[in-house]
């Protein structure tokens, strides 16, 4: 049992007792003050001992209460971040508790369900499914809650608006950072392409969605994303931003993937280059012998002869490529790589938004800092030269223009000379 579960499992009587410790402590302290004025040292010693024991107990209770509050805040913060991350994921995915109550959902899932995202939260996932499919799906979810394998189920989705649509539900149990079990649901159009996807994909998509909110720069997000994709596909994975022949950023999950990347950069051609240029998915069971890239003949690493590469796009713009290198059998399902690439497009878009917010925050901090030092310099000029505020500002601008320096740098020098700082 976790610390939070242990603390929150106290009965009402126990909680009432703990809350009463403070009152008992204050009463005992009052009795102790009266006893000290009496002539009974033995009574004073007994009361002081009891007082110290009760004070220690009271401090322990307060510490436990603070721990509970901190854990609750942490859990709520993680839940909010997960909801924000999944909402932007361009893949139809839901996250429910083990009873099927929806906790988070992507915008794509809300669109498929024909309901606003906010209306989905707190609703049972079974309410989105046709009546005939619900009993069997409930049994499968119950089995999943008892440690069963990931489930697949072809069902009819009944949107709040629009016509019913057939979907392939792929669900697996997850244990997120909050420490509570959840079920991740992927909603796909049924068919041969979805048959090659499994429940582990839903967990990977959830991990990817959370990356922009876990901190770190773009390089760390790319590296973590490459590791997630490599773990899922069991392949040598590379994520490249920009043209693969001249990438702006690269994250490779292995040395083999780096070697495959290096060969393509040196030759200026290869499956990743083609996938980027054609905005398509490119596959080859043997890149080193493929007539599409004769410049790679005899150069391609024998440790990973096959390649599956797809473009990463968002907002109609190609951001880069997701490549999986390895052996042709069993190979990486094209469908899986394409779904991951769609998710990566959303993740990278979120990274751009987070970076933009951070830049704006930094610019604002610099602006505030500049304003403060400029005001200080104006005050120095007004005091030293008898200028008013407008004259002091004009003087700073004149120096800035003549010396071709920024006003804030001129102001900083004036303040430094007066205060003796460098």
Predicted confidence at residue 350, as pLDDT, reads 72
- Taking the C-alpha atoms of residue 210 and residue 249, their distance in angstroms, rounded to an integer, is 20
Predicted TM-score (pTM) of the model is 0.53
Predicted confidence at residue 323, as pLDDT, reads 94
Q: Are residues 95 and 207 in the same domain?
A: yes
Give the domain CATH number at 379: 1.10.10.10
Phi and psi at residue 281, to the nearest 5°: -100, 130
Q: Does residue 55 lie in a domain region?
A: yes
The domain boundary, picked from 190, 214, 238, lies at 214
**What are the residue ranges in the chain where pLDDT is below 50?**
1-11, 75, 78-79, 177-179, 194
Q: Does residue 42 lie in a domain region?
A: yes
Q: Are residues 71 and 92 in the same domain?
A: no
The domain boundary, picked from 180, 214, 248, lies at 214
Give the domain CATH number at 167: 3.30.450.20
**Tally of CB atoms within 10 A around 7:** 14
Q: How far is CA 365 from the centre of its chain?
A: 25
Predicted confidence at residue 105, as pLDDT, reads 81
151 close to 199: Cβ distance less than 8 angstroms: yes
The domain boundary, picked from 77, 107, 133, lies at 77
- Taking the C-alpha atoms of residue 114 and residue 162, their distance in angstroms, rounded to an integer, is 7
Predicted confidence at residue 71, as pLDDT, reads 53
Q: Does residue 7 lie in a domain region?
A: yes
**Tally of CB atoms within 10 A around 234:** 11
Count of domains for the chain: 3
185 CB-near residues (< 8 Å, 6+ apart): 93, 94, 95, 96, 125, 169, 170, 171, 202
Q: Are residues 70 and 118 in the same domain?
A: no
Domain interval for residue 408 = 357-419
Give the tokens for residue 308: 């599956």
The model's pLDDT over 146-201, given as tens digits with 9 standing for 90+, comes to: 776 777 788 899 888 878 988 888 777 765 544 457 787 878 776 555 455 555 77
Angle at CA 298, nearest 5°, toward 297 and 301? 105
Q: Does residue 390 lie in a domain region?
A: yes
């Amino acid at each position: 049992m976790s610390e939070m579960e242990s603390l929150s499992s106290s009965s009402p009587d126990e909680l009432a007792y703990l809350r009463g410790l403070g009152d008992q402590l204050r009463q005992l302290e009052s009795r102790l003050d009266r006893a000290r004025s009496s002539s009974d040292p033995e009574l004073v010693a007994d009361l002081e001992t009891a007082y110290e024991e009760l004070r220690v107990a009271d401090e322990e209770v307060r510490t436990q209460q603070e721990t509970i509050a901190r854990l609750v805040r942490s859990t709520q913060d993680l839940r909010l971040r997960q909801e924000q991350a999944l909402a932007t994921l361009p893949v139809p995915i839901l996250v429910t508790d083990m009873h099927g109550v929806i906790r988070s959902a992507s915008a794509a899932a809300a669109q498929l369900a024909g309901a606003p995202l906010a209306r989905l939260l707190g609703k049972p996932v079974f309410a989105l499914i046709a009546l005939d499919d619900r009993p069997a799906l409930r049994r499968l979810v119950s089995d999943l809650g008892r440690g069963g394998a990931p489930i697949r189920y072809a069902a009819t989705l009944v949107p709040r608006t629009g016509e019913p649509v057939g979907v392939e539900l792929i669900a697996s149990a997850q244990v997120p950072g909050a420490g509570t079990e959840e079920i991740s649901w992927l909603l796909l159009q049924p068919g041969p392409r979805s048959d090659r996807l499994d429940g582990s994909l839903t967990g990977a998509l959830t991990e990817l969605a959370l990356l922009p909110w876990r901190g770190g720069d773009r390089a760390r997000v790319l590296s973590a994303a490459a590791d997630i994709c490599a773990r899922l596909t069991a392949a040598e994975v590379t994520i490249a931003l920009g043209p693969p022949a001249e990438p702006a950023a690269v994250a490779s999950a292995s040395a083999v993937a780096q070697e495959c990347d290096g060969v393509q950069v040196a030759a200026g051609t290869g499956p990743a280059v083609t996938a980027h240029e054609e905005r398509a998915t490119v596959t080859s069971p043997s890149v080193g012998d493929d007539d599409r890239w004769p410049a790679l003949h005899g150069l391609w690493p024998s440790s990973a002869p096959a390649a599956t590469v797809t473009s990463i796009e968002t907002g109609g713009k190609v951001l880069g490529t997701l490549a999986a290198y390895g052996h042709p059998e069993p190979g990486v399902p094209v469908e899986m790589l394409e779904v991951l690439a769609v998710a990566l497009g959303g993740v990278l878009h979120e990274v751009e938004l987070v970076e933009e917010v951070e830049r704006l925050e930094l610019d604002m901090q610099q602006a505030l800092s500049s304003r403060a030092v400029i005001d200080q310099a104006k005050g120095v000029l007004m005091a030293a030269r008898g200028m008013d505020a407008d004259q002091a500002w004009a003087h700073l601008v004149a120096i800035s223009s003549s010396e071709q320096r920024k006003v804030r740098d001129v102001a900083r020098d004036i303040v430094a000379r007066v205060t003796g700082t460098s």
